[in-house]
Amino acid sequence: MKTYLRIATWSALALMLPVLRAQSGGVTPEPGITRQQAEQILQELRQIRQLLERQQQQQPSAGPPAKIKMNLEGAPMLGNKNAPLTMVEFTDYQCPFCQQFHTQTFGELKKNYVDTGKVRFYARDLPLDSMHPNAMRAAEAGRCANDQGQFWKLRDVMGNHPDKLDLESLLADAEFLKLDVKAFRVCVVQEKYKNEIQADLMEAMRIGADGTPAFVLGKSTADGVDGDLLVGAQPYNMFDLKLRSLDTK
């Protein structure tokens, strides 16, 4: 996930520079940030650096295929199953860029394309758990809510609140959505869908999705999609332009 890691590194550094200064005794925070918070941020930066260094030692990949064909059987879908176009999102519920897409772009796409029957929208998981400790749990929670027919409602809650993905918060969300909380908890804690989430991770690697959120947009097929990869929290007009071009082909 090199793209995401680079963005995260520079974003974190931009946030840290105004509030931290190095001294011989360690890091001293400026007013407004505690020493513990400063150390936690620095620890995450060290982890990002280590991941980037490991990735740089690997052989470069050949890049994503010219056209991406995906089987989407079993993945949560929103919209008309017979829609001519398909959009797939690979997401990490703790990722700030995924939150940006969800809060600033998804609603307009849903209104103009999904609700009108032009596009069917699929959700896939890409939790970057080496950086986001709650991402895998959130992915499990979404699938466990799907067992009770509430995937999209819980997805909306998690997409708006990436800072509230601990188990207690998820259980509170399940209760608010009137799920069977006991069954939901067992499902999440026992990692019922761990293998399926790992399969999504492998699929993301196969198609060259090196950041979150990542999207595949293309023509609908009988079992999925035949389309192109787009990585990053793009603005609405970028998706609109791509979907319009597909609609005329």
**Cβ atoms < 10 Å from Cβ of 45:** 15
Whether 97 and 212 have beta carbons less than 8 Å apart is answered as yes
| CATH number for the segment(s) 68-247 | 3.40.30.10
Render pLDDT for 152-189 as a digit per residue (tens, 0 to 9). Answer: 999 999 999 999 999 999 999 999 999 999 999 999 99
Taking the domains of the chain in order of start, what are their residue ranges? 2-57, 68-247
Render pLDDT for 201-211 as a digit per residue (tens, 0 to 9). Answer: 999 999 999 88
Q: What is the pTM of this model?
A: 0.75
